[in-house]
């Protein structure tokens, strides 16, 4: 058994196993069992070990442990129009410069706040199934200058699969870089630090084209020595490591936590890139969404505690029409937004403002 298979075999995938570890009651176990039939569970022993078991409201616990709120009403399956952007199975082309590939529906941890909850660990219908056709598409669309290999978690793929992706895309001259979307540095850093073959692969191909690892640290307690070691190993291979945080109620919606996280990321060479507004996804929104007004206040107050590099992070939402930055309040109390990336050219860089309700967490129209 290879390292990845061994690490994946150790993951906790049943309520029974959790019950033992966390001392759940019979009633709690039965309730959670019902949820796993729709939204599967998978937690690495490493990440489970980061939970403060004395604290019911522990932020690490919230991100990995199921909750009955996941079954509450409301929410959408596809919050940013992914199906409309799909040009062939597993390949999305929303922004003209970027091709997004869903390489797997598997992760080593199913984050409770995942916006692709509709499919991770559940349905393979949206997963890439014909790499040569994807290569051809990217070659033909010369406006595409980068490919994002995501999922699920791109590093759950076997090294041979990762290499196939690299082989297919590395020689396309119009690509400036290739990105991998992965939470492995956060939830299973050993898959990186103990896997010489993976590191060798990244180094070899990274010498031919820039590789970028887009990861997702959401709380400073995730920046453990193991995680930092994984990040450093990736950087030693020549990869650029960037972070996208999701703003999550009860996890990181406090100025001090956000500032510690962004400054902590910079201290190990990870550039904070986006703070994402949590999307109104089914099974997610009622538990994790933070209203814009409160989110903006937390981000701005946190920026006052950050160094200049940390505060290059942008507070954005990924809307069907584009990536929209939350700029701040104007003199009349309206929130100003700006398109950072737009699906349609007419919206590129467009600034607009609107009055927000105090509890408003999403934009229906722009």
* Site of interaction with ligand SF4 (CB under 6 A): 107, 110-111, 114, 116, 120, 151-153, 183
Q: How far is the CB of 124 from ligand SF4 (least distance, A)?
A: 14
Q: How far is the CB of 322 from ligand SF4 (least distance, A)?
A: 21
Q: Which is nearer to ligand SF4, 288 or 339 (CB)?
A: 288
Nearest-CA neighbor of 65 among 251, 228, 225, 227?
Answer: 251
Q: How far is the CB of 182 from ligand SF4 (least distance, A)?
A: 7
Task: Give first-to-last CA distance, the chain, whole Å.
Answer: 51
Q: Which is nearer to ligand SF4, 288 or 296 (CB)?
A: 288
Q: How far is the CB of 110 from ligand SF4 (least distance, A)?
A: 5
Q: How far is the CB of 356 from ligand SF4 (least distance, A)?
A: 26
Q: How far apart, in whole angstroms, are the C-alpha atoms of residue 58 and residue 217?
A: 16
Q: Which is nearer to ligand SF4, 202 or 248 (CB)?
A: 248
| Tally of CB atoms within 10 A around 296 | 20
Nearest-CA neighbor of 147 among 122, 129, 172?
Answer: 172
Q: Which is nearer to ligand SF4, 111 or 257 (CB)?
A: 111
Q: Which is nearer to ligand SF4, 162 or 306 (CB)?
A: 162
Nearest-CA neighbor of 318 among 78, 126, 63, 99?
Answer: 78
Q: How far is the CB of 156 from ligand SF4 (least distance, A)?
A: 8
Q: Which is nearer to ligand SF4, 95 or 110 (CB)?
A: 110
Beta carbons of 252 and 258 less than 8 angstroms apart? yes
Q: How far apart, in whole angstroms, are the C-alpha atoms of residue 235 and residue 253?
A: 29
Q: How far is the CB of 305 from ligand SF4 (least distance, A)?
A: 26
Q: Computed from CA positions of residues 313, 319, 325, 331, in that sequence, does the dihedral angle turn out positive or negative?
A: negative
| Ranges of H-type helices in the chain | 3-9, 15-22, 26-38, 45-48, 59-64, 82-85, 131-140, 159-170, 184-187, 190-193, 196-206, 225-236, 255-267, 285-288, 292-303
Tokens at 294, concatenated: 């409160």
Q: How far is the CB of 150 from ligand SF4 (least distance, A)?
A: 7
Q: Which is nearer to ligand SF4, 150 or 341 (CB)?
A: 150
Q: How far is the CB of 48 from ligand SF4 (least distance, A)?
A: 15
Q: Which is nearer to ligand SF4, 104 or 263 (CB)?
A: 104
CA-to-CA separations, 37 to 14, 149, 203, in angstroms, rounded: 10, 28, 40
Q: How far apart, in whole angstroms, are the C-alpha atoms of residue 236 and residue 221?
A: 23
Q: How far apart, in whole angstroms, are the C-alpha atoms of residue 248 and residue 277?
A: 8
Tokens at 78, concatenated: 């596809």
Q: How far apart, in whole angstroms, are the C-alpha atoms of residue 255 and residue 108?
A: 29
Q: Which is nearer to ligand SF4, 111 or 212 (CB)?
A: 111
Question: DSSP 3-state assignment of 355?
Answer: coil
């Amino acid at each position: 058994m290879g390292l990845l298979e061994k690490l994946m075999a150790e993951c906790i995938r049943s309520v029974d196993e959790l019950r033992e570890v966390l001392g759940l009651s019979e009633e709690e176990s039965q309730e959670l069992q019902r949820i796993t039939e729709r939204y599967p569970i998978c937690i690495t022993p490493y990440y489970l070990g980061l939970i403060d078991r004395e604290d019911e409201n522990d932020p690490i616990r919230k991100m990995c442990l199921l909750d009955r709120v996941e079954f509450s009403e409301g929410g959408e399956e596809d919050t940013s129009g992914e199906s409309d952007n799909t040009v062939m199975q597993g390949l999305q082309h929303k922004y003209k410069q970027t091709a997004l590939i869903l390489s797997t529906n598997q992760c080593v941890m199913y984050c409770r706040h995942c916006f692709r909850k509709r499919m991770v660990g559940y349905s393979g219908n949206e997963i890439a199934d014909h790499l040569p056709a994807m290569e051809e598409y990217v070659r033909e669309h010369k406006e595409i200058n980068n490919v994002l290999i995501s999922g699920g978690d791109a590093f759950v793929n076997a090294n041979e699969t990762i290499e196939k992706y690299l082989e297919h895309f590395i020689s396309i001259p119009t690509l400036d870089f290739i990105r991998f979307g992965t939470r492995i540095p956060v939830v299973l850093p050993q898959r990186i630090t103990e896997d010489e073959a993976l590191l060798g692969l990244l180094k070899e191909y990274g010498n031919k084209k820039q590789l970028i690892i887009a990861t997702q640290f959401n709380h400073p307690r995730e920046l453990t020595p193991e995680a930092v070691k994984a990040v450093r190993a990736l950087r030693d291979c020549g990869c650029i490591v960037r972070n996208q945080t999701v703003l999550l109620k009860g996890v990181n919606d406090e100025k001090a936590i956000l500032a510690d996280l962004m400054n902590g990321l910079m201290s190990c060479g990870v550039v904070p890139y986006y703070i994402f507004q949590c999307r109104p996804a089914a099974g997610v929104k009622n538990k994790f969404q933070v209203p814009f007004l409160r989110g903006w206040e937390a981000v701005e107050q946190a920026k006052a505690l950050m160094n200049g590099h940390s505060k290059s992070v942008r507070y954005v939402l990924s809307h069907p029409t584009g990536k929209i930055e939350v700029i701040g309040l104007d003199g009349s109390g309206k929130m100003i937004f700006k398109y950072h990336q737009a699906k349609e050219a007419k919206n590129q860089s467009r600034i607009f403002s609107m009055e927000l309700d105090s509890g408003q967490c999403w934009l229906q129209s722009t």
